[in-house]
Chains A and B, each alone.
Chain A
């Protein structure tokens, strides 16, 4: 068994060397297909990363009435805390709200609220609630608004809605683009491998006459496809890695890369995801390409 696999592997490597032109063509087709897929993946990973950042920054402010009782406040806290989608609750006293507002205004403008302090702060106390999923905010806001002692609830309604629909669109678009590109990639690789197999149809027919089983004939081609796929995938990862580092490096110097101050996904994160997917994807493309291409030539 091990000896047979050794023969397959040796044959596959020899075949790659002997048919170097076709092997290079196969690797190039794997690289070009995977680079395009990789660019789409990198964009999708970044969009996810950025929307996660935006989602993390989204919060619901639950303003409390000034004359709220301790029991009502506790009931509100318990009610919010019991919600599964809530990830964090912070209490903001009237003074905290005043200080925060003062910070927002800055030293020059804070003079307009200089007469206010803890006792006469015009700003209401509030709970600042964070959620795991942006999609949960709207429902939670409605429920909390009905509780006794709640003056009002506020969240970036437009931002949340835009983010949700954008996220949905990007996910859908990514899958569609990846599916189309995958089909194109399989088609390109299938045709290239078919040419390789065609150039060796004589060899295959001899094997058939000699009495080699279909499995024996097929395996070196499949291993060859697999090796070319992995090699193509590794080359694509290296190229994409350099390209991504170049883009991240070029954007690092600029101050406002993105409108809301988010950053691009770190190269390590992107490349880790892409590398794993690519190696499997390369194996899949190479193997499938070989397996389907050789099928026709086995009927001797």
Chain B
């Protein structure tokens, strides 16, 4: 599903490697943790997967498509297959919970009738059905992250990328978010979670890809954070 083939990334004006000759493969339906200290290359992998940046060398394939071959005008259609959740939620403060989630569907021109049918179901799935009319500022951190997750999965992406999804949350709330991601994964969505949260990674016993200074240091299924 996701293949990094000898990917190297050096940012403009920087002499250090952000990623160095990285080769890895993630299968469809997998749940993968991406771990490592700040600057290890986790965010670079996410940016590359979103085609926000291009690799200096190497190839990235998603469902067999070489990302470097995707033209600028086709990029939005590619991004619809990849959901993304950020540590800071990035919700629209001027929109309600329902509107924030519906916004994802409006952005890809989904008919209003479908939006009205699907959004409540997704809000139900993330446990926020009763909060639909509230604004993000009225919600707790964990609830805001649930809205962000609902927004990212409402269009049924094949891949869900989470960048430090529990970075701002307490352990109990974090566990709730992880359970939600597991539920989404059980429906067939490939999930990649970049995190620092050692306890959570240890508890989940999923595949863990460890990075250090842009290099792959370990890749173990059921492995622990080292």
Which one of A7, A203, A206, A207 has the greatest number of beta carbons of chain B within 10 Å?
A206
**Contact in complex: B79, A211 (CB < 8 Å):** yes
* Any B CB within 8 A of the CB of A202: yes
Closest 6 CB pairs of A and B: A211-B80, A212-B107, A211-B79, A211-B76, A213-B76, A210-B107
For the complex, give the distance between the alpha carbons of A211 and B84 in Å: 11
* Any B CB within 8 A of the CB of A216: yes
Q: For the complex formed, measure the closest distance between the CB of A212 and the CB atoms of chain B, giving whole angstroms.
A: 4
**Contact in complex: A203, B92 (CB < 8 Å):** yes
| Residues of chain B lying within 8 A (CB to CB) of residue A250 | none
| A202 and B92 contact, Cβ closer than 8 Å, known pairs A208-B79, A209-B50, A210-B79 | yes
A185-225 contacts to B, CB under 8 A, are 202-203, 205-214, 216
For the complex, give the distance between the alpha carbons of A235 and B136 in Å: 36
Taking Cβ atoms with an 8 Å cutoff, the residues of A that contact B are 3-4, 7, 18, 202-203, 205-214, 216, 300
* Any A CB within 8 A of the CB of B44: no
| Residues of chain A lying within 8 A (CB to CB) of residue B79 | 208-211
For the complex, give the distance between the alpha carbons of A300 and B47 in Å: 10
| Residues of chain B lying within 8 A (CB to CB) of residue A18 | 94
For the complex, give the distance between the alpha carbons of A300 and B73 in Å: 13
For the complex, give the distance between the alpha carbons of A207 and B106 in Å: 10
For the complex, give the distance between the alpha carbons of A216 and B107 in Å: 7
| Residues of chain A lying within 8 A (CB to CB) of residue B77 | 211
Q: For the complex formed, measure the closest distance between the CB of B32 and the CB atoms of chain A, giving whole angstroms.
A: 20
**Contact in complex: B109, A209 (CB < 8 Å):** no
Partner of B90, one of A202, A212, A213, A216: A202
Which one of B73, B94, B151 has the greatest number of beta carbons of chain A within 10 Å?
B94
Which one of A3, A4, A212, A300 has the greatest number of beta carbons of chain B within 10 Å?
A212
Q: For the complex formed, measure the closest distance between the CB of B92 and the CB atoms of chain A, giving whole angstroms.
A: 6
* Any A CB within 8 A of the CB of B13: no
**Contact in complex: A210, B109 (CB < 8 Å):** no
**Contact in complex: A212, B94 (CB < 8 Å):** no
Q: For the complex formed, measure the closest distance between the CB of A239 and the CB atoms of chain B, giving whole angstroms.
A: 31
* Any A CB within 8 A of the CB of B145: no
Which one of B50, B109, B155 has the greatest number of beta carbons of chain A within 10 Å?
B109
| Residues of chain B lying within 8 A (CB to CB) of residue A7 | 106, 109
* Any A CB within 8 A of the CB of B104: yes
For the complex, give the distance between the alpha carbons of A225 and B73 in Å: 24
| A210 and B104 contact, Cβ closer than 8 Å, known pairs A3-B111, A4-B109, A300-B52 | yes
For the complex, give the distance between the alpha carbons of A211 and B109 in Å: 11
**Contact in complex: B80, A206 (CB < 8 Å):** no
* Any A CB within 8 A of the CB of B108: yes
For the complex, give the distance between the alpha carbons of A94 and B218 in Å: 117
**Contact in complex: A209, B80 (CB < 8 Å):** no
**Contact in complex: A209, B111 (CB < 8 Å):** no
* Any A CB within 8 A of the CB of B37: no
Q: For the complex formed, measure the closest distance between the CB of B161 and the CB atoms of chain A, giving whole angstroms.
A: 10
For the complex, give the distance between the alpha carbons of A207 and B79 in Å: 10
B32-73 interface bits toward A, Cβ cutoff 8 Å, 1 = contact, 0 = none: 000000000000000000101000000000000000000001
**Contact in complex: B108, A212 (CB < 8 Å):** yes
Beta-carbon nearest neighbor of B107 in chain A: A212
List 9 extra interface pairs beyond A205-B90, A211-B77, CB under 8 A.
A3-B111, A207-B107, A211-B80, A211-B107, A212-B76, A214-B76, A216-B107, A216-B109, A300-B52
| Residues of chain B lying within 8 A (CB to CB) of residue A203 | 92
For the complex, give the distance between the alpha carbons of A259 and B77 in Å: 70
Q: For the complex formed, measure the closest distance between the CB of A224 and the CB atoms of chain B, giving whole angstroms.
A: 14
B111-129 contacts to A, CB under 8 A, are 111-112
| Residues of chain A lying within 8 A (CB to CB) of residue B104 | 210
Q: For the complex formed, measure the closest distance between the CB of A13 and the CB atoms of chain B, giving whole angstroms.
A: 13
For the complex, give the distance between the alpha carbons of A213 and B155 in Å: 15
* Any A CB within 8 A of the CB of B103: yes
27 pairs, A vs B, C-beta closer than 8 Å: A3-B111, A3-B112, A4-B109, A7-B106, A7-B109, A202-B90, A202-B92, A205-B90, A206-B90, A206-B92, A207-B107, A208-B76, A209-B84, A210-B80, A210-B104, A210-B108, A210-B151, A211-B76, A211-B77, A211-B78, A211-B108, A211-B155, A212-B76, A212-B108, A213-B76, A214-B76, A300-B52
